Structure 1
Amino acid sequence: MPPSKKPRRPTRRELQQLKEYGELDPLSSMGGDNDLDVLIGNAISKSGSSRFSGSVSVGRDKRRSGKDSKDIQALFSFRRQQKAKPDAYAKLIKSLSTKPAATTKPSLALDSDEEEEKEEGEEEFVGAEDAEMEDEGDDDAIIGASVAASKRIQAEAATDGEDQGSDSEYEVDKVDNSELPEDEDEGDNDDNGDDDDDYSNTEQDSKTKEVYEGGDFMESHFADDDSESMHRKLAVATQKEYKTSMANDPMFGPMVLYNTSDEGLKEPNRRPLKQRLVKPFHKVNKGGDFTEFQRPFFSWLDQYRDVVFTARSSGREDEITTAYALHAMNHVMKARDRERKNNAKLAKAHASGKDVGELRDRGFTRPRVLILLPFRNSAYNVVKKLLKLASAEQELNSSRFEKEYGPSEDESNANKRKPADYQNTFAGNIDDAFRIGLQLHHRTVKLYSEFYRTDIIVASPIGLRMTTGAQSGDRKDYDFLSSIELVIVDQCDVLLMQNWDHVSHLFSCLNLTPKKDHGCDFSRVHNWALEGMAQYRRQTVMISEYMTPEIQAVFNNNCRSLEGKIRIKPVYHGTITNVVAQVPQIFKRVAVNRLASAADDRFAHFTENVLPELEKSIKNEKHTVIFTASYFDFVRLRNHLKDKGHAFVAISEYSTRSEAMRARIKFFEGEINFVLYNERAHFYHRYPIKGINNIVFYSLPDHSHYYSELVNLLLTSNDSTASADKLSCTVFYTKYDQLKVERIVGTNLASQLLSSERAQYTFA
């Protein structure tokens, strides 16, 4: 039997005719029998969408005839379709900066645009085409180059498949993006409209990349910079010799800057966001640009300074969470795109046998962002915003996430009688033990991913502590925290009502050298990470309603960014103005020797001087509540009252609802003399204790509005005919309670109460 005849390759004109009749249309069926159609099909499958864009340089093929050049341009026209740039990005820049945006040269945007939308393997396809087009070869040479490029793309697609190895065992949920604006063609992200995307072959493009990276805060902060200025910043951060200065922001008021150089606060970045984040951000932000609040707040985050913001409120919650979720997603997308770009460079260099030098773009492990939150309801809101910003076509395990984190259908209405801040904190799922990982792909987001294959970790301190283990023991695993570049701790005031020791423990586990390699490619790890200096590149953001010594300790000891630090120092008007009960409020300063003995001095003063006076007054007036902020003080006083045989009840966060109910009834009926009450009990339950005639603040509460709430409880006396002269309020404080006193009496009066020669003040 004679051998079959080898099929003849189609000519360029035949290919053009096939395309004109739709048989080679890249947007139609992928069932063509020719090599170029297979290549297009593979590229579209690789991108995960029904569009495929790029560019093939035909400008250099000037030796061909005009007709042939037109044929080639028509053949690859689907890779050169560019639309006008949308004005959404320009509007966003205008909203971020109060000054007019500087005119940007087209070359400055080149590196960013290619970085945003180019996929792995796309550069090799362009480079191979250009190389063949420069020769005067026939049509077979063009198709041969396409076949070679197709094989490389298929090989990379197989590698991508291995990375998602276990995805098949997860649920796949289609995402309804109908509420989001439709995506433009890939070419829409090209700001300058340059047809030639093969940027890596010219010296001018190399300079363009350096100019752009020099203007991007992320690139400059995480670059392997060995300059003298970087060493000076490192010396200042390691020795804590910051150049402190005061600044006054129109929105936030006074703030303290800790600078590592003479630069101070920088001007907002001209290109703060990835282009594909702009439209999702507008949707998440209720269709608007940066608000007056978000504009300076996001600028601080974008400069990679450590930020401690202690003026959080429920009214600003949506703006705050949107700002830091946008910053986290922007950081991860920039880092992942840089890695994909470098992967393409390496593949191209290996194919041509060239050396591209060091490409260091990652840490020891994959996770880059850690977000700590107190309850699942907070995690639900933040993760939902991250998913909207990712605007993925598929979300793995989103149904499971809705079931485990979403609000329940049969929520109780008992909280409606509680204050507004209580309802906002405890709405929805309030489980405090959780951890979830988000893995980002080009068109897919996977929830519940394994930590070593995760980009963003959202967890509670206790939930993550269950993974990292205790201080001693065999069950320890915190290598996945070795390359964290951004830590966001939101609602620190709520975390303080849980167990702050877990937060301190997690900070001690960050950016340590891992015990195992976990498949790390050390040739791609940043030099500063290999040298153990990753903690000076990490950005820490702490958000709270108020400042406490615990937060200040983390700020002083664990916030070490090379770019410096910012601490907001708000001016307080004092919650004492919210007291409506007509009762004298006596503030007494307790003399203490030093900070280490302040707790002992306070306890000695109370048991020796205050408690005996209370015992004498009990003969005539019972109904006294003793309030403590610290649980350690609560236990110490409880044990002392037990030893002395006093008739009292103790209500803490560990008291059951029935125990607290019986104690309140006995107190109201006068069967007992004292109620020992703890701040955490008030935080978690807000018990309406009735029948209070005297309230004694052994220590002031951290939540300043608790003071006015508790004093106003004096209005609900056990005797409706009780006169105001039978009611009393006494507060004990020390000179180390400056933060608490300032929030309650106001910034202006606090210094007088703390430093004056007088030790007693009365407010009425």
Structure 2
Amino acid sequence: MKRIRKSSSSNEKPVDFKKSKAVDFFADHFCTNLEDALSEKVNAGAEISKKTLKSDLFEDCNVTINSTAASHLHCTNPSKILDLDEFNLNPKILQNFFIHNKGDATEEQKELYQIIGRYMDLCLISDRKDYLPLLSLHIVNHLNRTRDAIVESNTKLEKSSKAGELTEEIVEECRDQGLARPKVLFITSMKNQRFEDEFGDTGYVPPSKRNEDFRELMSGNIDDCFRLGIQYAKKALKLYQKFSESDVLVCSPLGLRMIVGEEGEAEREVDFLASIEIIIIDKTNQILMQNWEHLQHILDETNGMPSKLEVDISRVRHWSLQNLGKIYRQTILFSDYNFTELHALYASACKNYAGGVFIVKNPEPILEMV
């Protein structure tokens, strides 16, 4: 079955946000407190089921949906197609996505966002390159929703306190934070980014005698030891912030491992990983060629209890206080090709109570080439 793509004559697409009722997956996922018995089942990996997706979605791919004992709590069926403006996205952020994407989302991008936008875990094994704009949309919208919730709670608490009407019920309604500020961790193998100084393109190009894949991989800034903290403000992104004051961390496995260290080391830092809500690991096939153990160690240390609290405990979500961050965290993995270690990582690190989807692009047939 061939898809019919929509053409776009402009980089900007007018958005009609009144045509349908949006689904608030952010609130459905992070504002839900699982019952103790249910969270124990999810944590223990009980009642996990797997099924193959049989639909027109993800043409030429093998798709497996993994469900948990709590997957039924909100709509985690990617076959129920929603348009992007039905995901309760900020209108300005969505408009900027269309500009960055150079037009409307393709059908393949819309399919992929059915999983990402539902806060499900994802492992995509494919050589496609169109997912980065979707990740930017998802991350920025997530940070915007988090900031708006905090501002709204601050206003409510201040207003109630001044009126002498502050009650325990209002305080409970304002639990909107985690045990640490960083919310998003983006792990990638090498810099190859476009910042002018430290992350700028070095201009290096491998010799022409190398094959095309090698030249693409090894061109530009191939430094594999870096880390960057980004603070998300209302009208700006502040780079090179302290990790404890950052919202997004962009790191290589080696760069982050040098900070996380080993248990027992005096100068190790790990508390800033206590409340990561989204982990994105790009180019896992390249990380495999570096040091896979670094990545495994970082994931093991993420969403643990911090050694000391530097936040207002009355604002921390209950599931975070109960050390359930790993089953609320969304983990997204990308790889150009399939390998055994990636399957093991998905099984051990992806514990999201909303479930997950494993997508493998079917290999090209080679019999006709023999």
Give TM class, smaller chain. 0.7 to 0.9
Query: What secondary structure sits across from 1:543 in the alignment?
Result: strand
Give CA-to-partner distance per residue, 1:416-442, whole Å, 9 cap, x none: 332222222112110000000110111
Residues 396-411 of structure 1 aligned to structure 2 (within 5 Å): 401-408=195-202, 411=203
- Contact map agreement 1:224 1:526 (CA 8 A) in 2: no
Alignment match, 2:347: 556
Note the C-alpha offset of 1:487: 0.2
Residues 1:496 and 2:288 are matched in the alignment: yes
Q: Residues 245-644 of structure 1 correspond to what in structure 2 (within 5 A)?
A: 245-248=51-54, 249-260=57-68, 261=71, 265-266=77-78, 267=80, 268=82, 270-286=86-102, 288-311=103-126, 313=127, 316-317=128-129, 319-355=130-166, 356-358=170-172, 359-377=174-192, 380=193, 401-408=195-202, 411-517=203-309, 519-574=310-365
Is the contact between residue 254 and residue 569 of structure 1 (CA under 8 Å) also seen in structure 2? Answer: yes
- Offset, 1:252: 5.0
CA contact (8 A) 1:88 1:278 kept: no
CA offsets 1:679-723 (integer angstroms, 9 cap, x no match): xxxxxxxxxxxxxxxxxxxxxxxxxxxxxxxxxxxxxxxxxxxxx
- Residue 279 to residue 572, structure 1, CA distance change in 2 (3 Å): same
Asked if the contact 2:253/2:295 (under 8 Å) is kept, the reply is yes
Q: Percent identity?
A: 29
Distance 2:206 2:339 in 1: 31
Using the size of structure 1 for normalisation, the TM-score is: 0.43
Q: Is the 8 A contact 1:251 1:292 kept in 2?
A: no
Identify the residue that residue 113 of structure 1 maps to in structure 2. none
Any idea what SS the aligned residue of 1:89 has?
coil
Structure 1 residue runs of 5 or longer lacking an equivalent are 1-85, 94-100, 105-211, 382-400, 579-763
**What code does the residue aligned with 1:366 have?**
R
On the 8 A contact 2:182/2:244 being kept in 1, the answer is: yes
**Residue 236 (structure 1) shift:** 4.1
Aligned to 1:703: none
Q: Deviations over 1:286-317 (max 9, x none)?
A: 1x111122101112011111101111x2xx32
Per the TM alignment, residue 279 of structure 1 is displaced from its structure 2 partner at its CA by 2.2
Letter in 1 for 2:201: P
Tell me: CA distance 1:493–1:414, structure 2 relative to 1, closer, same or farther (3 Å): closer
Pairs within 5 Å for 1:78-93:
88-90=14-16
Q: Distance in 1 between matches of 2:144 and 2:76?
A: 27
**Partner deviation per Cα, 1:430-456 (whole Å, 9 max, x = no partner):** 000000011011112110000000000
The structure in which a higher percent of residues are helix is 1
Task: Give the distance between the partners of 1:495 and 1:577, measured in 2 at CA.
Answer: 33
Instruction: Give the counterpart letter for 1:498 in structure 2.
Output: Q
Deviation at 1:413, TM superposition (A): 4.8
The aligned amino acid for 1:254 is N
Q: Does 1:219 align with 2:30?
A: no
Given that 1:367 and 1:457 are in contact with CA atoms closer than 8 Å, whether structure 2 keeps it comes out as yes
Alpha-carbon distance in 1 for matches of 2:249, 2:224: 15
Structure 1 residues 102 and 251, CA gap change in structure 2 (3 angstroms): farther
**Mapped partners of 1:524, 1:406: distance in 2:** 39
Distance 1:250 1:226 in 2: 31
CA distance in 1, matches of 2:245, 2:160: 27
Classify the secondary structure of the residue corresponding to 1:256: strand
Give the C-alpha shift of residue 103 in structure 1.
3.8
Write the mapping of 1:78-157 to structure 2, written as runs, cut at 5 A: 88-90=14-16, 103-104=20-21
Q: Which amino acid is the alignment partner of residue 273 of structure 1?
A: L
Q: Which amino acid aligns with 1:467?
A: I
Contact 1:439 1:446 in 2 (8 A): yes
Q: Which amino acid aligns with 1:245?
A: K
Following the alignment from structure 1 to structure 2, what is the Cα–Cα distance between the partners of residues 402 and 223?
39
The answer (yes or no) to whether the contact 2:171–2:314 under 8 Å persists in 1 is no
Residues paired across the two proteins, number: 345
**Structure 2 gaps, min length 5:** 1-11
* Residues 272 and 302, structure 1, Cα contact 8 Å, conserved in 2: no
